[in-house]
Structure 1
Amino acid sequence: MRRPRFEGDQRRSTMTALQHGSAAIPEAKASIPPTSHDDIDEALAILSDNADAWVKTSIDERIRILDELVASTHRVAERWVRAACDAKGVRRGTPGEGEEWLGGPVVVLRNLQLLKRSLKDIRDSGSPKLPGEPKVLPDGQVEAPVFPTDALDKLLFTGFSAAIRQNRSVTKSSLRDNMGEIYRNPPTQGRVSLVLGAGNVSSIGPMDALHKLFVEGEVVVLKMNPVNEYLGPFMDEAFRELVRLGYFRVVYGGAKEGDYLCTHELVGSIHITGSDKTFDAIVWGTGAEAADRKRRGEPRNDKPISSELGNVSPIIVVPGPWTDEEIEFQATNIASSLTNNAGFNCNATRVIVTQSSWAKRGKFIDAIKRAFARAEQRMPYYPGAEERQAAFLEAHPQAHQFGPRGEGKVPWTMITDLDPTKADDICFTTEAWCGVTSEVPLDADDPVAFVEEAVKFSNETLWGTLSCSVIVHPKTMKEPRVGQAVEKAIGDLRFGSVCVNHWAALAYALVTPAWGAAPGHPKEDIRSGNGFVHNTYLFDKPEKSVIRGPFVVKPKPAWFLDNRTSHEIGRKLCDLYANPSLLKVPSLLFSALRG
């Protein structure tokens, strides 16, 4: 690969920006003219005028609106996916197209249907009906089941489950009183929320808006990210009923327009999916003045702000008696968690944590390399990807690269045998935000000691608290000491989502889990962010989402990098969630079996 040339201070400033947290991303070139300040003022005035009406809107009317949104989102879905594929250089009929279906209109439609179901439950019985009985964990924490939600989920995701662990102030008897706050105690006044959309996954902006509207009760102005602002017209069309009623608006622009919106007197709250650098710029400003403000605890913007800001995401691989077939499955599983969306995901696997003495470690790493070697090369559509990969290669010139190299290309990159004692390694401190991952072996005498060390390493060395995964063989889990250690690890890992045996993106895609960083970060040290989104059972005090899945899944998961029919599966899931019917399942399963 041709590495970018850096001269003097330019190189030092680039490396400094990559030293900690999420990488500073250059602003993308606009494809749609920025919205003028006058037009922003007009949009905010319309929203402000209708904010009180929204909080007074009946549940039946909200359900009607959701039905309208389902129909309009389904109508625009094909064009939405086509535009995303064109912008990202994705060939139709490939796993990349499948990703755009699954990470776009499919999850938005699922979100709409789940919100509608919860609102019907609130109307009929006072609160959302859980799909199972909550339980109290041995340490006293309440865990509420949120998946599977129905027979359809059980058919499509056999063996998968999800639950949300609640804040410790919530008891089993008080759980119902900690669901759907805005419907139990409706606010007397409305508020305008600014949602700063993400540029990578097309469902993030609309789903963040849905959370603000239907879970928090605020009308929304969605500012599109310049990277994917081409989707803005589709958002307008998908949410046209909300637009017609004056509850939703889309605007365009870069940092200048974003700052104007953040400081606008009519904006009452802010939600951002992006980087900790952008969060700090909003709250504290930039440069020396920002550092002084942070030290004094005097933000330049004191509006309520929630955020999801990225992560150096670990996958902890517990040693066990894996067969060759199981090694190949999990190797593809892990590789897919990086190659998805060309590596531009906040939950992409960045550090694979292994036991150094595991007899199958070498075979497993070789299998991951083979998976990267057969993965289709993707266009690095996000600005600065080549420079970010170059910074990791400079720190680790021995990195393994898979795929074509040269200008405009970022090969899949895997850095192995990292030293866990070097806490300042770029792989541990910095979210690569491109197709780069790494592996670190930990010394431990047995699986129990390894699990304990892996938790400590993930909590104390890696940057971020958004999501992580633990891969553990079912036979290993049946060993009492190891099983207990893994269950303890799930509780001890300081991440907003923990996924067992699969990529933690499932916590995002299932929609019922609460998606966000581990609670407790102050604005002065925001890390992966604050607050949760999705959470369609409307828990007021979620703390952690836990997803569990089978060690090996058949047929092949739709999100795997080598699934040949994921584009068919995505389109059929879109139709299914738009108009749910068990009669559509056989055709969907036929496509899945051919993947």
Structure 2
Amino acid sequence: MSSATTSTDVTSVPATRGIDEDERARLDAAIDDLEAGARTWSALSVGQRATLLRAVRTAVAASAEEWAHTAAASKGLSGSHPLRGEEWLSGPYSVLGALDAYAETLSRLADGRNPLEGIRIDRAPGGRARVHAFPLTGLDKILLSGFTGEVWLEPGTTPRTARAAAGLAQRSPQESGGVGLVLGAGNVTSIPVLDVLYELLAHNRTALLKVNPTQDALVPVFEHAFAALIEPGFLRIVRGGGDVGAYLTGHKRLGHVHITGSAATFDAITWGPRDAAATARRRREDRPLLKKPITAELGGVSPIIVVPGEWTQADLRFHAEHIATMRLQNCGHNCIAGQIVIMSSDWAQADAFRAALRRAYAKAPERPIWYPGSTSRMQQANDDYPDALVLGDRLLVEIGADDDATALENTEYFAPVLGVVSLPGQGQEFLDAAVAHANDKLQGTLGANLLIDPATQRSLGTGFERSITELRYGSIAINAWTAFGFITPTLTWGAFPGNTLQDVGSGLGVVHNALLLDRVERSVLRGPFRPFPRSLPVANGGGRFTILPKPPWFVTARTGAVVSEGLTRFRANGGVLGLAKTLLQALRA
């Protein structure tokens, strides 16, 4: 990953200056509390843990409005900004869903049932077990109709072994995992607390959360929302910059580190930040500076593969807006923001789609570029591609036959920069070439997106599933965006397996995973190609039916803010009347 990539604060890199005695005492006291909390946690039954999660849920629901408003304000979004709904969905909505899913898993275990009881498991290509992990509730089946999600386990797993291992550390709750450090991301407000929940539930580790300075304003919200975890010593939250991060990563009483951020920060923590020659020597000799295990989610350059077919004008417009959303949501400050569109130079509709993409990318609402360092990365992209289209506050880089795509394909700009590359071919030939290009040319393996119309997918037959199997990414979204997988708690989130400390790529390990599955390889999300009402059977060409019109997370959804807020309030508190009003607003998107 490029050193420019930074989805956590770059000051987490160990710093040259130390912390004072008062700060050291404060941090050590927090670790004391967490060590005592680890003993308490080990004494709780799984049923008691489920009850505790429900108490946390109540507090998160009560904090949802303050959470969303604080997050929006911290990113420069006013109370009337059309994109303020992003902070409802990517903040409290995501956490409420995770708490519900984890509580269900723990309740099943407490009742002597398997977490996968009643959940279909079959075979994916290549000798893999495949868990059909979404939707699992009647409400999700209705509100998110047309979307399904699968977790593929590593080759060699079977449905029987999948069920036998489900539950992870909650199968032996009395075995403590000690105390871990979570270095929180600064771009999406649910990430730090979702990482804390996974530490507690997948590993039986109490957690010291160091928030990114960009989220300092949310600390009071977190302290209220997660008081039920803080009071017994299961969680402590601290602020600080690189000096605090350096002290904590080297602390002997913290047994594990988890980071969501950049490969540069990861490497500085693992191998050392200063002496290049010494760092290189440690890498060669496999002598990391960090003397404890580390897991990480580190982003990458995400592809959007557009498979050629016969699309209507409405299809062209819808998926151009879909791609604009993948890049521009949160101003592109997402580890999973789509960055490279891969399309066919032989597609008869290629020019029409390019034109639709330019329009959609240009007309999305403007917003501040707020993440630290993003302005300089925009300038880097300008320098890399001086002929790029400047569309308001964003860049569109259309790679021509004589252009060099190397910078675009190997730099996670973490800013509103979208590239388009073309490959020859149609049908399976194009799809195979696009998959190989994504695997071999693009940096990282976190997430890949693929758009394909129903008729073309049917014509490819088994070749389509073969191509999905060959796509080496930890999250794959078909006619959807992988961010949907991020907020779906029963799916998993993390890089494709195989990275190492020496070559960390998009990271090590997974998070979310509310079914607590072992030996995870990837999650595959499938969505409808056409929204309602074009998803009706008469118009859909054999595709998936959905009741969703333009989804509220689209940056071009006119009612996205009010629908996102309404869905979060319904997730928090229920209420059929409020849901009905929200759905009526959704129809106006």
Task: Select which of 569, 572, 588 maps to 2:582.
Answer: 588
Name the SS for the 2:120 alignment partner: coil
Give the aligned partner of residue 414 of structure 1. 396
Partner residue of 1:308?
A: 297
One-letter identity of the residue aligned with 2:394: W
Deviations 1:394-437 (A, max 9, x none): 1211111111xxxxxxx1211012559956x1101110010001
The answer for the alignment partner of 1:577 in structure 2 is: 571
Comparing 570-579 with 282-291, greater Cα deviation is found at: 570-579
Aligned amino acid, residue 378 of structure 2: Q
Change (3 A) 1:254 1:303: same
Instruction: Specify the SS of the correspondent of 1:36.
Output: helix
From 498, 523, 532, the equivalent of 1:520 is: 498
Aligned to 1:101: 88
SS in 1 for 2:84: helix
Counterpart for residue 436 of structure 2: 456
Gaps of 5+ in 2: 13-18, 533-548
Q: 1:533 corresponds to which letter in structure 2?
A: V
2:536 is matched with none
AA of the residue aligned to 1:530: L
Residue of structure 2 equivalent to 1:442: 423
TM-score relative to the length of structure 2: 0.92
Q: Are 1:532 and 2:532 counterparts?
A: no
User: Secondary structure, in 3 states, of the residue corresponding to 1:570?
Assistant: helix
Amino acid at match of 1:391: Q
Name the CA distance, whole Å, in 1 between partners of 2:217 and 2:408.
Answer: 32
The worse-fitting range, judged by mean Cα deviation, of 287-296 and 426-435 is: 287-296
- State the Cα distance separating 1:71 from its structure 2 match: 1.1
- Choose from 561, 564, 568 the match for 2:555: 561
2:453 to 469, 473, 479: 473
2:76 corresponds to which of 63, 66, 89: 89
Contact 2:331 2:416 in 1 (8 A): yes
8 A Cα contact 1:197 1:204, kept in partner:
yes
Q: Which amino acid aligns with 1:244?
A: E
Query: In the TM superposition, what is the alpha-carbon distance from 1:439 to its structure 2 partner?
Result: 0.5
Q: Distance in 1 between matches of 2:447 and 2:2?
A: 25
- Paired residue secondary structure (1:142): strand
Provide the C-alpha distance between the structure 2 equivalents of 1:244 and 1:23, rounded to a whole number of angstroms. 30
Q: Is contact 1:45-1:266 (8 Å) kept?
A: no
Q: Which residue of structure 2 lines up, in the alignment, with residue 3 of structure 1?
A: none
Out of 245, 255, 261, the residue aligned to residue 232 of structure 2 is: 245
- The alpha-carbon deviation at position 169 of structure 1 amounts to 3.3
| C-alpha contact (below 8 Å) 1:26/1:383 kept by paired residues | no
Over aligned residue pairs, what C-alpha RMSD do you find? 2.1
CA–CA separation in structure 1 for the residues paired with 2:179 and 2:510: 18
Q: Which has the higher mean CA deviation after the structures are superposed, 166-175 or 514-523?
A: 166-175
Match of 2:175 in 1: 188
After superposition, the C-alpha distances for 1:182-218 in whole angstroms (9 at most, x for unaligned) are: 1223353341111100000000001111111122211
Can you list the C-alpha shifts for 1:435-456, whole angstroms capped at 9, x where unaligned?
A: 0010000122x21111111111
User: Counterpart of 2:320 in structure 1: which amino acid?
Assistant: A
Q: Is the 8 A contact 2:149 2:491 kept in 1?
A: yes
1:563 counterpart letter in structure 2? A
**Pick aligned residue for 2:255 from 264, 268, 281:** 268
Does the aligned pair in 1 maintain the 2:9–2:186 contact within 8 Å? no
How much does 1:337 deviate? Answer: 0.9
**1:320-341: CA deviation from partner (whole Å, max 9, x where unpaired):** 0000000000000000111100
Gap change, CA 1:295 and 1:456, over 3 Å in 2:
same
Q: Is residue 451–residue 485 contact of structure 1 (8 Å, CA) maintained in 2?
A: no
Residues 106 and 574 in structure 1, CA contact (< 8 A), matched pair in contact too: yes
- 1:73-152 matched pairs, under 5 angstroms: 73-129=60-116, 132-152=119-139
Matched, 1:169 2:131: no
8 Å contact kept, 1:192–1:221: yes
Change in CA separation of 1:117 and 1:392 when aligned onto 2, cut-off 3 Å:
same
1:299 is displaced (CA, Å) by 0.4
Deviation per CA, 1:338-370, whole angstroms, max 9, x where unpaired?
110011000101100001111111111111111
> Do the aligned residues in 1 keep the contact of 2:166 with 2:515 (CA within 8 Å)?
yes
Alpha-carbon distance in structure 1 between the residues aligned to 2:324 and 2:232 = 44
Question: 2-side partners of 1:202 and 1:388: how far apart?
Answer: 22
AA in 1 matched with 2:92: P
1:544 corresponding residue in structure 2: 522
Shift of 1:130: 5.3
Classify the secondary structure of the residue corresponding to 1:335. Answer: helix
Please tell me whether the aligned partners of residues 499 and 548 of structure 1 are also in contact (alpha carbons under 8 angstroms).
yes
Per-residue Cα deviation, 1:37-78 (whole angstroms, up to 9, x for no partner)? 211111011001221221231122112211111111111111
Structure 1 stretches lacking a partner, 5+ long: 1-14, 404-410
Q: Secondary structure at the match of 2:359?
A: helix
**What corresponds to 1:376 in structure 2?**
365
1:239-290 per-position Cα deviation (integer Å, ceiling 9, x unaligned): 0011111110100111110111111111111110000011111111123222
Tell me which amino acid in the other structure corresponds to 1:458: A
2: distance between equivalents of 1:138 and 1:252?
46
Residue 545 of structure 1: SS of its match in structure 2?
strand
Contact residue 502 and residue 549 of structure 1 kept, 8 A: yes
Retained in 2: the 8 A contact 1:148–1:161?
yes
Distance 1:24 1:86, change over 3 A: closer
1:576, distance to aligned residue in structure 2 (A): 2.1
Partner residue, 2:320: 331
Aligned to 2:385: 396
CA contact (8 A) 1:103 1:509 kept: yes
Contact 2:340/2:418 (8 A) holds in 1: yes
CA contact (8 A) 1:44 1:221 kept: yes
Q: Go from structure 1 to structure 2 and tell me whether the alpha carbon gap of 1:519 and 1:113 turns closer, same or farther (over 3 Å shift).
A: same
Kept after mapping to 2: 8 A contact 1:161/1:549: yes
Per-residue CA deviations over 1:21-44 (Å, capped at 9, x if unaligned) read: 66997559xxxx999221111101
Query: 1:153/1:23 Cα in 2 relative to 1: closer, same or farther (>3 Å)?
Result: closer
Match of 2:308 among 319, 328, 340: 319
Aligned to 1:220: 207
Write the distance in 2 (CA, Å) between the matches of 1:374 and 1:79.
30
Q: Structure 1 pair 392/23, CA: closer, same or farther in 2 (3 Å)?
A: farther
Corresponding letter in the other structure for 1:218: R
Hey, what does 1:407 align to over in structure 2?
Answer: none
**1:525-574 Cα shifts (integer Å, max 9, x gaps):** 00100100000111011111000000022311010012122222222222
Distance in 1 between the 2:356 and 2:439 partners?
Answer: 27
The answer to whether the 8 A contact 1:23-1:432 is kept is no
* Contact in 2 for aligned 1:26/1:384 (Cα 8 Å): no
Tell me which of 354, 360, 363 is aligned to 1:365.
354
Q: CA separation in 2, counterparts of 1:467 and 1:299?
A: 28
Contact 1:52 1:190 in 2 (8 A): no
Post-superposition offset of 1:133? 1.5
Change (3 A) 1:23 1:222: closer
The one-letter amino acid of 1:239's match is F
1:302 Cα offset (Å) = 2.5
* 1:250 partner SS: strand
What code does the residue aligned with 1:460 have?
D
Q: AA paired with 1:184? A: R
Between the aligned partners of 1:46 and 1:353, the Cα distance in structure 2 is: 51
Q: How many residues align?
A: 564
**Percent of counterpart pairs with the same letter?**
36
Cα distance in structure 1, aligned partners of 2:316 and 2:339: 19
Is contact 1:346–1:433 with CA below 8 Å preserved after alignment?
yes
Out of 180, 186, 198, which is 1:211 matched to?
A: 198
Structure 1 position 139, deviation (Å): 2.7
